[in-house]
Amino acid sequence: MALTLDGLPTDILIRVFEELDVYDIRRCSLTGRVFHETIPDNLILQYRLELAIAGLEDRSTDCGLSVAERLAQVKAMEEGWANLSFRQKFKVTFPGPGPTWNLYGGVLVRECASDMASGLSFIQLPYAVRGTPVHMWQIDIQVNILYYAINPAQDLAVLIGWPVTHDEQRHTVGIHLRTMSTGAHHPCASDPVLACVLDLDDPQDHFVIELMGDFLALLHYSPEDSLGDVLFIWDWKTGQLLIKLRLWPPA
């Protein structure tokens, strides 16, 4: 009789599941009784699934906690958000007036500018589950920042610098890939500055940046309705432009 996948020993099944991404693990858990019972019983697989559900990444190499302890912390965090049960209260003193603060993954950030260049100021909010204290720091970027976004899970700051080059109808802006921690070029980026060509007379400040894993998406809103909006998607680690799509307005 032929051996089916769900007939494999549990330890071999677990080894197979460990090679899958979280989306395929989730699909497998819905395909049959054996898989449905095997996956929830494995702490490593459950930890990976809970991280994905919470939108988190585990970048620790040796945090001193077991998988079971880390899983319990993720579940406690999700329960806290679901019930709005706060484990602690604290006060943060914001340094001086300035632009609006934005919140990304537990990190407050805002632009700080001088006559010569721009930078970013950060406040890492305390995180009781991870034992993270309040931390404040600033990075200096030798470019004029037009727009920015950050991803604390990847220590990534994406900054649109303006301008790089331009002619009568086309502008090229630089998309700088830096580390949040030091402002240096991000070590995972093969090209630290991505070139974004805009076929417009005046780009102005009409950008939206989204970061998801290796993908960087930039939506440029046209100041002229007749020109439409433009969507760019890069693999920011390789520097490859994957998509450039003009989104024409409805007639």
State pLDDT tens for residues 175-228.
999 999 999 999 999 999 998 887 655 555 588 999 988 999 999 876 665 567
Confirm if 123 and 115 have CB atoms less than 8 A apart.
no
Tokens for 247? 């989104």
Residue 241 backbone dihedrals phi, psi, to 5 degrees:
-80, 115
SS3 217: strand
Confirm if 164 and 172 have CB atoms less than 8 A apart.
yes
**First CA to last CA across the chain, in angstroms?**
63
State pLDDT tens for residues 132-147.
788 889 898 888 888 8
Residue 163 predicted with pLDDT over 80 = no
Q: For residue 15, how many other CB atoms are within 10 A of its CB?
A: 11
pTM strictly above 0.85:
no
Task: Provide the pLDDT for residue 166.
Answer: 60
Task: Provide the pLDDT for residue 217.
Answer: 96
Mean pLDDT for all residues in the chain:
82
The mean per-residue pLDDT over the stretch 166-170 comes to 63
Give the separation between CA 141 and CA 217, rounded to whole angstroms. 22
Give the separation between CA 183 and CA 120, rounded to whole angstroms. 9
Mean pLDDT highest for which of 7-11, 116-120, 199-203?
7-11
Residue 2 predicted with pLDDT over 90 = no
Task: Provide the pLDDT for residue 202.
Answer: 54
Give the separation between CA 222 and CA 70, rounded to whole angstroms. 45
Give the separation between CA 83 and CA 78, rounded to whole angstroms. 9
Give the separation between CA 226 and CA 222, rounded to whole angstroms. 8
